[in-house]
Amino acid sequence: MPNIGYFEIPADDVDRAKQFYQSLLGWKIEPTKTAMDPQAFAAMKYQDVNTGAPQEGTLNMGGMYKRQMSEVITNHVMVENIDEVLAKVEKLGGKIVTPKMEIQSVGLDAIIQDTEGNTIGILQWDKK
């Protein structure tokens, strides 16, 4: 069954949000080491979030970045086959907001919008 595999937290002030989550929940939050587009990630102040040791059935990682517009927290659901899931989105009344893209050493990811206007990420882990 698909489960949440990643989350992202937009923030108006990344340093303030980072301090809040580190202090409140003890999360480890540091600048991303993702090599995808270093300049873009630096401009966004993108941070990798580690929520601690994974426990069965839970996730332990996410991201934080400088809010660009009016984004909200985005959860990314783990799926076995992203293409099969994306093929169903519009048939079911949703929209593909961000087409499938490869994130090096992570996997394939896309953002969809449900019938109520909520967004959710679809993530297929790279099993290498």
Q: What is the pLDDT of residue 75?
A: 83
Domain limits, the chain = 8-69, 79-128
Using CA of residue 2, residue 116, residue 73, residue 127, what is the dihedral sign?
A: positive
CATH architecture, domain 79-128: Roll (3.10)
Is domain 8-69 in CATH 3.40.50.720, yes or no?
no
Q: Tell me if the pTM is above 0.75.
A: no
- Residue 86: predicted pLDDT: 92
Give the bridge partners for 95, in sequence order.
113
Residues 6+ apart with CB under 8 A from 82: 100, 108, 109, 110, 122, 123, 124
Q: Which pLDDT score is estimated for 1?
A: 58
Query: Which mean pLDDT values do the consecutive 10-residue runs of the chain (128 residues) have?
Result: 74 85 81 78 85 67 81 81 92 91 90 84 82
